[in-house]
Amino acid sequence: MNAVAFQALWSHWRRHKVQLATLVLGLALATALWSGVQAINAEARKSYDRAAGVLGQDQLDRLEAPGGVTLSQYIALRRAGWDISPVVEGRLSGDDLRLLGVDPLSAPPQPALTALAGDSAALATFLGDGFLLVAPETAARLQGSDLPPRRIAADVPPGTAITDIGTALRLLRTDRLSHLLIRRQQAMGLTPLDQITDLKRVTPTDQSSLAQLTDSFHLNLTAFGLLSFAVGLFIVQSAIGLAFEQRRAAFRTLRALGISLRRLMALLAVELGVIALVSGAAGILLGYIIAAALLPGVAGTLRGLYGAEVTGTLSFDPLWALSALGIALLGAAAAGAQALWRVARMPLLAPAQPRAWAMASGRMIRMQTGAAIALLLLSGLLALWGDSLMAGFACLAALLIGAALALPVLLLVLLRLAGRFTRGPLSEWLVADARQQVPALSLALMALLLALAANVGVGTMVGSFRATFVGWLDQRLASELYITTRTPAEAEAIRTYLTPRTDAVLPIWSVAITLRGAPAQVYGVADDPTYRDHWPLLQAQPDAWDRLAQGDGVLINEQMARRDELSLGDPLTLSEGWQLPVVGVYSDYGNPQAQLIAGTDALATHYPDQLVLRFAVRADAAQVPALITDLTACFDLPDDALRNQAEIKALSLDIFDQTFLVSGALNVLTLGVAGFAMLTSLLTLSSLRLPQVAPVWALGVAPRQIALAELARTALLATLTWALAVPVGLALAWVLLAVVNVQAFGWRLPMQLFPGGWLWLGLWALVAALLASAWPVWRLVTLPGGQLLRVFANDR
Amino acid sequence: MIARAFALLWICLATAAGAQGFAGLGTDADGFALPSADSALTFPADHGAHPDFRIEWWYLTANLRGDDGQDYGVQWTLFRSALSPEAGSGWQTPQIWMGHAAVTSASTHRFAQKLARGGIGQAGVTTAPFDAFIDDWQMRSTAAEGDPLDALTLSARGVDFAYALSLQAQGPLVLQGDQGYSVKSPTGEASYYYSQPFYDVTGTLTLPEGDVTVTGQAWLDREWSSQPLANDQQGWDWLSLHFDDGSKLMGFGLRSSTGAHFTSATWITPTGQTTAYGDGALTLDPLETVEVEGRKVPVRWRVTLPERDLKIDTEPLNPQSWMGTMFPYWEGPIRFSGTHSGKGYLEMTGYE
């Protein structure tokens, strides 16, 4: 019985293969985009956790000394019973590799070393001749290097090599340990550390974790994924709705034959479940492909922006696949719920004639409009008075849903306005018919609106971020050359050498202080045009730079101003007996910590012992390469001691632009999904709209002309939707920049407008809409005349 | 006394196998020295480390009674395992050291593990004065004259226990097997093996409940070799017994995959005279198996040595004396009764 009924229901899909394909493809696309973005985020987070979690450095207290820890200091503590583990850290500049030396015999358990735990011979070689544990991409990069042999360990962060402490000390040519990790659990009755060592115990702060830094980036990706999913669901909803409407007759017949409503519902649910599973599987495959294709770009972006090493290759996580399948089922359920509900309420002997399923009544439009106004109001209220990240997201959601719901009525209004300017019967028919189609197309148009608004919104945000980033680079990299020296003597020698040869040698130095219980960094800045001209201040007292130079004021970063609710003129105690008023606030993107700028002389007075080892050099840009050559020759400086500003800037921007690759790719994908939603809706309509088209045809309008009219109408609707999407997108960008970002990260990115992008987007929307309508129109106009004539057959 | 470590440290750390078939030739394929029946042990030199052998240990177990009236067992072990047959120095020394310590009562079994490499002063054994150490765990000679092992202090601690004991030998060193050459399988794998089973012990256990003053007796095993187990040997059941009359018995059975035991025993009189018994003289039959850490372990045994009219049943102080260390095994104090009675230690390895 079940099987027969199921077959009867399923026969619909056999006859409507395109509809089935639409449904499957829509759900697969929705799942793919959502889960693809999730996979990228998960991969990136895994990388951060790995980087932070190597050796539990993110959690365990450590013992340090300014010049490093000696072997005898380490052994003395071990012999006193303290369970501590030595770590040596360094850079091999020749190979651009971070080297981490550990003692596997005392190191805390960690994923990167699991490769050794199971493999005895490996541990023996690790301790003996030595090898480097590296991520696959690092291994590929190091091919042919004369470093010790490499072995792949997936849990090692890219750009890092983990090796035995003996090997690391040898490679780094040092005998000092960087620090000692203190295991949490210690034996009973030990002598307290401060009685047996003068090493300094440091508790790690999770303030500077990469995850926190990169959250905004992932937030944007997630928002994109969610949006794509929502857009995809519009397709699914329209396909399911259509299929259910077309099967009303079949439902009625089945019910009349004695199939209970409960059973019918169950069968339909099973059918939907099967389709969802198949689509979900396809979506997983597609999502994986999308994620794998986008990941290298994302990795490049994160490396450039935040110095976060993210592996460029995607690993397959069964849990991820499972959750993607779950999302597909959930999406199908959400999209099918309305249809099922309608079947449940359908009277047993309801008229079986198919009607335009989505022909919403005027009452429906009014309800939607009411809801839209309420949501938009709510969104506005949240934007103004919301005070948390959740409020920011709620504001976003209310804005987007409200805008989507308001679309039909706005389109109707616009079309009514357009109707006033039309001349001639055909164009009047065109506009009137467009109005008549709005309710039927509203879901597809809402999808288009969301996709376009997201494009505008995210484009604006990324663009604003880029512009801000360029400014930020100019601030940070105003000088032409950056030098890091190793000793005070070398610093002095280089400074003496450079002073007559360059425009200015500016010390870069900072003091770590604790301000209001949180760590903060105070930079000493010389009175130089480099800063006055290049360091734009968000707020400042008129004589801020003068007061800074005189030691009568301090600049603070935006995060600190927002977090501690400081404003200009507020006094700030930097250390005991040193109080300065805030004279300015500057932007400091990407830094989670509080930062201050004080006059270099004032800072030196209060911290006379702080070493100044880094310099920024102002010089004629053309002379910089020669200067680098001279410096390297005179002072035998290592490769990484000198950094050329132009190179850094170009590289940073280059890498930043990869962001656009990723968001650009996602933009195209969402737009594609929205276009597909249009296609399915138009396909549906094309068969239902014969009663509208037949009279026009009968009046003698050529099929070619009808086709043109159809295309023009679609273009008109798409253009109007685009026009409405631009303000929605700008509102979206504003919420992202001014509400979500501030709540999440403590800084506000200034919003900039990119009208050129909107025009391009409008063009793309037009192209997508025309492509979507091409097939339905072709189908309509190639209909045999007999079919069009048949429309009149039932006329009485 | 031998731990699973005997098997596992080799499996774990040895760069290559290939020792079999080289017995008596002096060195194995990797250059490690091999035990020979012809060479006599010399003291105190042989109390120290033998870096040219693959594996070695200083293994002490004590049966103690506290002033709280309870029985306790204490284990202190220092293992040495070489990646290659040289002493080396600095971080890249090929000598790896591992310490195990435990305090067992009828209701608790507390243990700890230490790992260190030689060459940096974190672990090792010196002979003048005798001092075996890893981190703050120490077995140090306090003997003013005579053999350095005649008097020792012993200390170790973990998260939830610590102990400090002093040991005084009441008899001579005892050479196991044939003058210290102890055969471990029918195919001839062997080790150097001697013991000091005559310690009187006094000291203090520091437990979360408080300090306990203890007295009792202890047994030290010294063993070194380069040869792995025979291929078909899965594990060991090992006993050290203090009889009430002052005699001692060391006995072990190596379980082969066919289920058969390769056994060996040494009877030690109260004055230190030894009689060695080869394969088959001693029999070991499990009487009761309990579940320990998710596996079945025979914690009660019937031990017979007909040539000595010995037939005893052993009883663990704590059936859950599981050393959940990197290479897990069962090790704990026992009592026994039958034709003879007394206390001792039981070690069982290879119960997966």
**Cβ proximity of A78 and A84 under 8 Å:** yes
pLDDT tens per residue across span A678-723: 777 777 666 667 777 788 888 888 888 888 888 888 888 888 889 9
**Interface touch B122/A120, C-beta < 8 Å:** no
**Cβ proximity of B73 and B346 under 8 Å:** no
**Interface touch A128/B15, C-beta < 8 Å:** yes
CA distance A676 to A233: 11
Which tokens go with B5?
A: 């470590």
pLDDT tens per residue across span A637-662: 766 667 777 766 776 666 566 555 66
| pLDDT over threshold 50, residue A340 | yes
Count of domains in chain B? 1
Of the pLDDT bands very low, low, confident and very high (cuts 50, 70, 90), residue A205 is low
Query: ∠ CA A5-A7-A11 to the nearest 5 degrees?
Result: 120
Looking at beta carbons, which residues of chain B come within 8 Å of A121?
A: 15-16
Q: Is the dihedral of CA B104, B105, B109, B111 positive or negative?
A: negative
A121, A127, A188: residue with CB nearest B206: A188
CA distance B227 to B34: 7
Confidence at residue B89, expressed as pLDDT on a 0 to 100 scale: 84
State which H helix or E strand residue A189 sits in: none
The residue ranking higher by pLDDT, B218 or A100, is B218
A71, A75, A128: residue with CB nearest B94: A128
Confidence at residue A688, expressed as pLDDT on a 0 to 100 scale: 67
Q: Which of A119, A127, A176 to mutate to test the interface with B (most CBs of B within 10 A)?
A: A127
CA distance A193 to A201: 9
| pLDDT over threshold 60, residue A19 | yes
**Interface touch A128/B84, C-beta < 8 Å:** yes
| pLDDT over threshold 70, residue B56 | yes
Chain B's closest residue to A125, CA to CA, is B15
| pLDDT over threshold 80, residue A183 | yes
Lowest mean pLDDT among A135-149, A169-183, A399-413: A135-149
Buried b / exposed e across A181-198, counting CB within 10 Å, b at 16+? bbeeebbeebeebeebbe
Looking at beta carbons, which residues of chain A come within 8 Å of B16?
A: 121
Looking at beta carbons, which residues of chain B come within 8 Å of A130?
A: 92
Flag whether residue B157 sits within 8 Å of chain A, measured between CB atoms.
yes
Confidence at residue A307, expressed as pLDDT on a 0 to 100 scale: 56
| pLDDT over threshold 60, residue A353 | no
Confidence at residue B24, expressed as pLDDT on a 0 to 100 scale: 33
Bridge partners, residue B225, by sequence: B55
Chain A's closest residue to B157, CA to CA, is A187
Q: A39-43, A306-310, A608-612 — which one is most confidently predicted on average?
A: A39-43
CA distance B47 to B150: 12
Which tokens go with A231?
A: 């857009």
Phi and psi (nearest 5°) for B149? -80, 0
**Interface touch A166/B92, C-beta < 8 Å:** yes
Which tokens go with B263?
A: 């056994």
Q: Which of B11, B114, B136, B137 to mutate to test the interface with A (most CBs of A within 10 A)?
A: B136
Confidence at residue B20, expressed as pLDDT on a 0 to 100 scale: 33
pLDDT tens per residue across span B174-189: 999 889 998 888 777 8
B83, B161, B162: residue with CB nearest A127: B83
Q: Is the dihedral of CA A713, A716, A721, A722 positive or negative?
A: positive
Give chain A's mean pLDDT.
79
**Interface touch A78/B116, C-beta < 8 Å:** yes
Alpha carbon of A113: minimum distance to chain B alpha carbons (Å): 15
The residue ranking higher by pLDDT, A334 or A176, is A176
Q: What is the pTM of this model?
A: 0.58
pLDDT tens per residue across span A512-556: 777 776 667 888 888 888 778 777 788 888 888 888 888 889 999
Flag whether residue B115 sits within 8 Å of chain A, measured between CB atoms.
yes
CA distance B59 to B42: 19
Chain A's closest residue to B135, CA to CA, is A79
Alpha carbon of B140: minimum distance to chain A alpha carbons (Å): 14
Q: Is the dihedral of CA A114, A118, A124, A129 positive or negative?
A: negative
> Where residue B302 sits, what CATH number does that domain have?
2.40.370.10
ipTM of the modeled complex? 0.91
Of the pLDDT bands very low, low, confident and very high (cuts 50, 70, 90), residue A601 is confident
**Interface touch B135/A79, C-beta < 8 Å:** yes
Flag whether residue B90 sits within 8 Å of chain A, measured between CB atoms.
yes
The residue ranking higher by pLDDT, A406 or A302, is A406
**Interface touch A165/B91, C-beta < 8 Å:** yes
Mean pLDDT for the stretch of residues A82-90: 90
CA distance A498 to A623: 12
Collapsing DSSP to helix, strand or coil, B325 comes out as coil
CA dist A397 to A376, A381, A401, A709, Å? 10, 13, 6, 36
Looking at beta carbons, which residues of chain A come within 8 Å of B208?
A: 188
Domain containing B246 equals 4-348
**Interface touch A105/B115, C-beta < 8 Å:** yes
| pLDDT over threshold 80, residue A747 | no
Q: A150-164, A496-510, A630-644, B58-72 — which one is most confidently predicted on average?
A: B58-72
**Cβ proximity of B205 and B214 under 8 Å:** yes
**Window 85-124 of A, Cβ < 8 Å to B:** 103, 105-106, 120-121, 123-124
Alpha carbon of A189: minimum distance to chain B alpha carbons (Å): 8
Of the pLDDT bands very low, low, confident and very high (cuts 50, 70, 90), residue A93 is low
Angle between helices A261-306 and A210-246 (to 10 degrees): 150
HEC secondary structure over A550-596? CCCCEEEEHHHHHHCCCCCCCEEEEECCEEEEEEEEECCCCCCCEEE
pLDDT tens per residue across span B189-201: 889 999 999 999 9
pLDDT tens per residue across span A465-480: 777 777 767 766 677 8
